[in-house]
Structure 1
Amino acid sequence: MMQTSLKMNSKGVVNFLKKYNTYLILVMLLMVCMSISPDFFTATNAVNIGRQYSGLTIVSLGMLFVILTGGIDLSVGSFVALGSVTMALSLRSGIGMLLSIIITLIIGFAGGIFSGVLVSKVKLPPFIITMAMMTMARGAAFMISDGSPVKAPGNSIQGLGKGTVFGSVPILVILAAIFVIAFFFIINYTSFGRIIVAIGSNEKAVHLSGIRVDLYKMAVYSISGVCSVIGGIIAASRTGIGTPLYGSGMELDAIAACVIGGASLSGGQGSAVKTVVGVLVLALIGNIMNLLSVPSYPQDIIKGLIIIVSTLIQIFTSSKKSTV
């Protein structure tokens, strides 16, 4: 009887770790941050983290859609740069805020569709196609900006980056929260979300059931492209400047956030909420090291090690399907 009880208890612990491992990683990291820096647990620091990582949150959610189908999008960081430059140049031309946003979103959508067509119709590897798009988008950002930062006129866009609602809650945080809620609903409560998860789990079975897999793949890459240029708009709104240097390495952060959040790079497994937790893990790592005045190069090493440890925790506490 005692052995049976112990087995049941151990099984319950294992199931608990499988279900909540991502949140446990975040809680442990929070406790460490609060214990080593008195400046961490302040309202000002929380607002700074929210503003700084709202763009990465949205970009990571777009990446999650691609990963759910078993794909990858390495072009997101370059489209952040292209989006910021396009937004700043459009505002400088005097066409207004709304039209500038629409033009920027169209560019992201077009870039995503192009990648999606080559992946779904031509059957080229997503890694190769999006790596090529990464180079092309960054090159386009440098070309249209002449390789220099582009300043938006006046405070035309900085109201978005520096604005607050409900007292001190940044507008960017509210925007990111809206995306999180929308993506959570789409993944869990719509046929579109269920189908993209099914494609990542068993693409052949979905195709044999009569579903146009190619259309869904084109859709997820276009969503990723749009999310990426929105990240660029957010980056430009925080400084009032668009530059082709924005978003460097962001594709790796977005992938890391998804993996820390339990997404499987083979597709079919992932969560919008846990992806945001993955972003918060990366945010806390960067923030606490900045507060401790750790130089940038050691930061990269420490950040990489923590990502490896977090991923190993995910693997050893995940269910049958591997996280990577």
Structure 2
Amino acid sequence: MAKEKDEFKTKFSKELGPLIALIALLIFTAVLNPRFLTLFNLQSLGRQIAIFGILAVGETFVIISGGGAIDLSAGSVVALSGVTVAWLMKHQVPVWLSILLILLFSAGIGMWHGFAVTKMRVPAFIVTLGTLTIARGMAAVITKGWPIVGLPKSFLTIGQGDWLGVPIAVWIFGICVLILHFVLRKTVYGKHLRAIGGNEVAARFSGVNVDRVRFVAFTTCSVLSGLVGIIVASRLSQGQPGVGSSYELYAIASSVIGGTSLAGGEGTVIGAMIGASIISLLWNALVMLNVSTYWHNVVIGIVIVVAVTLDVLRKRLAKQ
């Protein structure tokens, strides 16, 4: 009982810092620019949080699995999925079937990553970097560099519509958070995922199927990337081959800011959600405060470096 209580305090304290930072940033931006609190801006912010948040949750699963695992292909899978779902609908494939096929296609990409990492022993960095290039290239090949437009109105509701004043994309994000938080915290799979990230050798001796756990983590990440591709295509009303650039970096940053350790074994879905909110809010704040776009990536980069540095220092102090 005492052990579980200490574990709860540790998790809460790791998420409390980013949550306080999020609230402070929100108040700071609202004070400097009252337009920040307009319904239109809040809905736009919510849609952006949903996009980065879904990707961050996927990256969290992969990073927690340890072994230096990371998925660099998320942004390119977003582009390829968005282009492909648009291409299918332009060729008279029903909306629901197009979405289902893209999710299955994305799952196939994740399965390839999982197979390459677990069975072929290819470093995750290499195989996902290869997919990053391939997927980005295929998106351009399919469209010949031009966006695919004229998508059905029913499809556009996913990225542009709202229910009870809340964007549909945010509802989708909320469902993903609830399901995957339950999987990570309350299921045997979640316990095994954290176990192999914390100590792979001990997990193997305990009978955990390490390869299968990592395989599922990579598959989950790619499926969520495909889902984001669908949302982005719907939001933009087109299959755009150029979207998703650097999305994987924002997703990784969101995960780390939310308390996920790059060494593996630690991380939560709620933390990833908070991290994605910070990244999205920071981006939105820079726009609202009329900061030059040239500075946006500089600021985001500094936040990433600070978050990773703090994580390293925290682990170093914990060992002392």
Superposition misfits of 4+ residues, deviation over 4 angstroms: 13-19, 310-322
> 1:262, 1:275 within 8 Å by CA — same for their partners in 2?
yes
1:112 aligns with 2:110: yes
Question: TM-score, normalising length from structure 1?
Answer: 0.90
Identify the residue that residue 130 of structure 1 maps to in structure 2.
128
Identify the residue that residue 211 of structure 2 maps to in structure 1.
214
Identify the residue that residue 8 of structure 1 maps to in structure 2.
none
Q: Structure 1, residues 56-100: CA drift from partner, whole Å, max 9, x if none?
A: 211111111001101100010000001100110011111101110
Alignment of 1:147-226 (within 5 A): 147-166=145-164, 168-226=165-223
In the TM superposition, residue 259 of structure 1 has moved relative to its aligned partner by: 0.5
Paired AA for residue 244 in structure 1: P
Question: Comparing 58-67 with 202-211, which one deviates more in the overlay?
Answer: 202-211
Q: Relative to structure 1, is the Cα distance of residues 316 and 18 closer, same or farther in structure 2, using a 3 angstrom cutoff?
A: farther
Alignment of 1:34-183 (within 5 A): 34-70=30-66, 71-166=69-164, 168-183=165-180
Q: Aligned partners of 2:209 and 2:11: how far apart in 1?
A: 36
> 1:78, 1:134 within 8 Å by CA — same for their partners in 2?
yes
- Percent identical residues: 35
> 2:14, 2:259 within 8 Å by CA — same for their partners in 1?
no
Q: Relative to structure 1, is the Cα distance of residues 283 and 291 closer, same or farther in structure 2, using a 3 angstrom cutoff?
A: same
SS at match of 1:50: helix
Q: Relative to structure 1, is the Cα distance of residues 201 and 310 closer, same or farther in structure 2, using a 3 angstrom cutoff?
A: closer
> 1:112, 1:222 within 8 Å by CA — same for their partners in 2?
yes
In the TM superposition, residue 28 of structure 1 has moved relative to its aligned partner by: 2.1
Alignment of 1:255-270 (within 5 A): 255-270=252-267
Q: Aligned partners of 1:36 and 1:318: how far apart in 2?
A: 36
Q: Aligned partners of 1:321 and 1:186: how far apart in 2?
A: 27
In the TM superposition, residue 305 of structure 1 has moved relative to its aligned partner by: 2.1
Identify the residue that residue 22 of structure 1 maps to in structure 2.
18
In the TM superposition, residue 17 of structure 1 has moved relative to its aligned partner by: 5.3
Question: TM-score, normalising length from structure 2?
Answer: 0.91
Structure 2: gaps spanning 5 or more residues: 1-8
In the TM superposition, residue 183 of structure 1 has moved relative to its aligned partner by: 1.2
Q: Relative to structure 1, is the Cα distance of residues 140 and 321 closer, same or farther in structure 2, using a 3 angstrom cutoff?
A: farther
Root-mean-square deviation (CA), in Å?
Answer: 2.1
Identify the residue that residue 33 of structure 1 maps to in structure 2.
29
SS at match of 1:241: coil
Q: Aligned partners of 1:39 and 1:93: how far apart in 2?
A: 42
Q: Aligned partners of 1:15 and 1:54: how far apart in 2?
A: 23
Q: Aligned partners of 2:36 and 2:273: how far apart in 1?
A: 19
In the TM superposition, residue 46 of structure 1 has moved relative to its aligned partner by: 1.2
> 2:15, 2:258 within 8 Å by CA — same for their partners in 1?
no
